[in-house]
Structure 1
Amino acid sequence: MISYATVGSNDFDTSLPFYTDLLGTDGVTKMFDHPRGGVLFGKGGQPVLGVLKPADGEAASVGNGTMIAIGLPTREAVDAFHAKALDLGGSDEGAPGERGPGFYMAYFRDPEGNKFAACKLG
């Protein structure tokens, strides 16, 4: 079971407002500023996503083949989350729709190119 995920950022002025607004649509808020730069976001006292400066001090880069899926309670919430990501400067990687039995998905990239899925499973 995955507890939380992190993505690297080279531009906190863009990435932090993007994630604050986008994750806020599902009740996720800033938990704390990370000591090396960035923010850990959470919900109900549990971490969800860190947007951080890489630990090795090198530039952040997009992981080829890496994707983070964010579970949402309804198909309508998936549609709205995907639309919000695009409104905030993300790019479309696949419109909302059925991807398999019980898999309703939408795909987008954040402004730095990290790939995400919004999903309602079941």
Structure 2
Amino acid sequence: MIDHIGIAVSDYAKSKAFYERALAPLGIGLMMEVTPEQTGDGSYAAGFGAQGKPFFWISSSSAQQGRTHVAFTAPSRTVVDAFHRTALVAGGRDNGAPGLRPHYHQNYYGAFVRDPDGHNVEAVCHMPGGQI
């Protein structure tokens, strides 16, 4: 199952304002923002969603222009680890080793790889202790 997806935008403030207004009729709102210090690449990110969960993200990262980010839900942290190992063997490039990302939430355990075209692919487990 797809957990969330993200795109890079050319004008973060303009795009954030656009999505705040355009998605409101769908019941989708701004759930959280991530600072440049938290992203680690100097970019801002905004997560839009509903019922307490962001599932659509925009980013100001110029390094991400033309690339997509897609995250798949994993049933356990062990599966996140296996995804990362297997993706690297399959030809992916490491973009973030498996581990907790508490700036999203305290149980966010994810791993990131770049596919052959440079898209950022992630596996994530949200559950405490890593099990669904």
Report the TM range for the smaller structure's normalisation: 0.3 to 0.5
Q: Which of the pair has more CA radius of gyration?
A: 2
* TM-score, length of structure 2 as denominator length: 0.44
* TM-score, length of structure 1 as denominator length: 0.47
Q: Which has the higher helix share?
A: 2
